[in-house]
Homo-oligomer: A and B are copies of this chain.
Amino acid sequence: MYRSHNCGALRISDVNTSVTLSGWVQKSRDLGGMTFVDLRDRYGITQLVFNMETQEDLCLLARKLGREFVIKVEGIVRERSSKNANRATGDIEIEVSKLDVLNAAQVPPFTIEEDTDGGEDIRMKYRYLDLRRGPLQRNIMFRSKLAIETRKYLDSLSFVEVETPVLIKSTPEGARDFIVPSRMNPGQAYALPQSPQTFKQILMISGYDRYFQIVKCFRDEDLRADRQPEFTQIDCEMSFVTQEDILNTFEGLTKHLFKTLKGIELSDFPRMSYDDAMAQYGSDKPDLRFGMKFIDLNEMKGHDFPVFDNAEFVVGINAEGAADQFSNKDIKKLTEWMQRPQVGAKGLVYIKYGQDGSVKSSVGKFYSEEFLKGLLDAKGAKPGDMMLILCGETEKTRKQLNELRLEMGNRLGLIKEGDFKPLWVVDFPLLEWDEESERFHAMHHPFTSPKKEDVERMLNGDHETMKALRADAYDLVINGSEIGGGSIRIHDRDLQSRNFDLLGFTKTEAEEQFGFLLGAFEYGAPPHGGIAFGFDRLCAVLNNQSSIRDFIAFPKNNQGRDMMIDAPSRLDIQQLEDLALESTASAD
């Protein structure tokens, strides 16, 4: 037997009990007559004490224990003379009578503490050591609990978890698939799913009524900082529902998760149309933890300031109380920040509303002080505020102002720790016109239904009509992060075919890739819809953290590599031959 108790279990009530503990040496302090060892496991830390006077051999052995040695001890629980109130086991210590070293340890390449001295790369390589640290252990255990509570809630609503296949069919639409060559079918390949979308729709057609799955999905994308080639979704689908039913159900799930895991009672989620979100925040995932809504300033046109006069759109935000906080130098820096290619603004105009009621602006020579003051007052600015203004093509300018708004929110400290502001963004456009490829893309995905009132126009309308179609599509946004998204689906073969047409599929392509779904629509498909939550992101947002990587036990780096196991690895010639493939990569 390796232990009678774990390292977080013993209390003052256990004093004088004989116990056996096993764990890792967190640290060891030699105080001459006494040696103290902190023994750690997942459950806590227990202090061991070795007495030089009464048990010299044991104490000498204990002095040789290095950090991260794995040991087993037997001893008696004693009350501590100097208690540690910060530790659950802080009232007691173990007077050790027997010590076994179960495994020695080399000195770790970085410290296994709350804050470590290890850099990103070395921690990725020695992930097994980084995973011992408190912050990561708490994250990984939080993730496990989040999954449990999700399942509990959905199960209580009669959702059935169904496993959908991982080896499926490649569909060139959307992001790039990972492919898996088939040995038994030379020249053919499976693909890994980007989502179980068609399978969950098939399950609705099969009458499963309420489906969910916490499921791995895969995208072979060039990785941005916070993307992973494999990621996890809470994937859901319901039959005989309207958008309203789905929003209510998953608002319920979200509230349940906040309540059980964070002790936070969320109020009902506001809803905002996509158009309003874009007009007021320049983003389809607005961070509502602070205000600073966009202010239409087109009235600044027609005053002989050519930059505004020639612009499609003039728009600003009012940074409350910021007038005194931003020197000319600060504003110059902010302007440069906005002019970086990542944002791409041409310039930045400010109007400062002095505490004394005076007005100062970078465009002061084009506008009278009276006009500017009137404008500030009309737009609700107060003395001490600073208005920041951009102009240009509408869509671009909104995106730039969104960046500025988020930056100002951060700089002005408007984001309160522990504040959560969820909302539903609804009424997304069905199709997006891509100028470059001259074709429509599905804004959500090709299976999304237009709103009921738009079906007729979609079936019979002209090209321009298509741009105005709205979908029963929705996103759940929390603190500026998209947590989930979904839609009511098409369940009619003709409408689905029309959508494939619009998206540029030939009949043959549509049939080859989605023939099974089109076929299934002909055998009694119910109205249905669903949603998918980004599980990794949800973990991070619930903990006010920005990196999903810290919530994944074995993440890949930005080159898609697992640095611990060193994957991917060189293809074996024999493996390629078995798959009827040849490599054209140059040898390294």
- CB within 8 Å of B: which residues of A? 1-3, 6, 22, 24, 40-43, 68-70, 72, 102-106, 108, 126-129, 131-132, 137, 140-141, 143-144, 147-148, 151, 155, 160-170, 172, 176-192, 198-199, 202-203, 205-209, 216, 218, 220, 222-223, 229-230, 232, 240-242, 491-492, 512, 515-516, 520-527, 552-554, 556, 559-562, 564-572, 575-576, 578-588
- Contact between B571 and A189, CB atoms less than 8 A apart: yes
Asked if B185 and A559 sit within 8 Å, CB to CB, the answer is: yes
Chain B: which residue is nearest A199 at the CB level?
Answer: B554
* B202 and A128 form a contact (CB under 8 A): yes
Identify A179's interface contact among B131, B166, B525, B571, CB under 8 A. Answer: B571
Q: How far is the CA of A202 from the CA of B568 in the complex (A)?
A: 18
Main secondary structure of the interface of A (DSSP, over half): loop
- The contact of A169 among B144, B183, B566, by CB within 8 Å, is B566
Closest-CB distance, A280 to chain B (whole angstroms): 32
**A188–B524 contact, CB under 8 A?**
no
Quick check: B105 and A523 within 8 Å, CB to CB?
yes
B residues in contact with A186, CB < 8 Å: 583, 585
Residue among B2, B222, B564 making CB contact with A240, cutoff 8 Å: B2
Q: Pick the contact of A523 from B128, B165, B189, B241 — CB < 8 Å?
A: B128
| B172 pairs with A572, CB closer than 8 A | yes
Cα-based distance from A207 to B185 in the complex (angstroms): 43
* 30 A-B residue pairs with CB within 8 Å: A2-B241, A2-B242, A24-B524, A42-B207, A42-B209, A70-B526, A102-B527, A103-B526, A105-B524, A128-B205, A128-B516, A131-B206, A137-B207, A140-B162, A144-B162, A166-B216, A167-B562, A168-B567, A172-B572, A180-B192, A181-B181, A182-B560, A184-B220, A184-B223, A187-B588, A188-B568, A188-B570, A189-B575, A580-B585, A581-B581
Q: Do B182 and A70 touch across chains, with their CB atoms under 8 A apart?
A: no
Interface pair B187/A524, CB less than 8 Å apart: no
Could you tell me if A552 and B188 are in contact, using CB atoms closer than 8 angstroms?
no
- State the copy count for this chain: 2
Return the chain B residue nearest A105 by Cβ.
Answer: B524
Are B108 and A523 touching (Cβ within 8 A)? yes
Contact across chains for A181 and B571 when beta carbons are under 8 A apart:
yes
Are the CB atoms of B160 and A207 closer together than 8 Å?
A: no
- Of A105, A162, A186, A567, the most chain B CB neighbours within 10 A belong to A567
Known: A160-B141, A163-B552, A553-B203. A581 touches B583 (CB 8 A): yes
Query: With a CB–CB cut-off of 8 A, which chain B residues contact A220?
Result: 183-184
Q: Give Cα A232–Cα B161 distance, bound, in whole angstroms.
A: 14
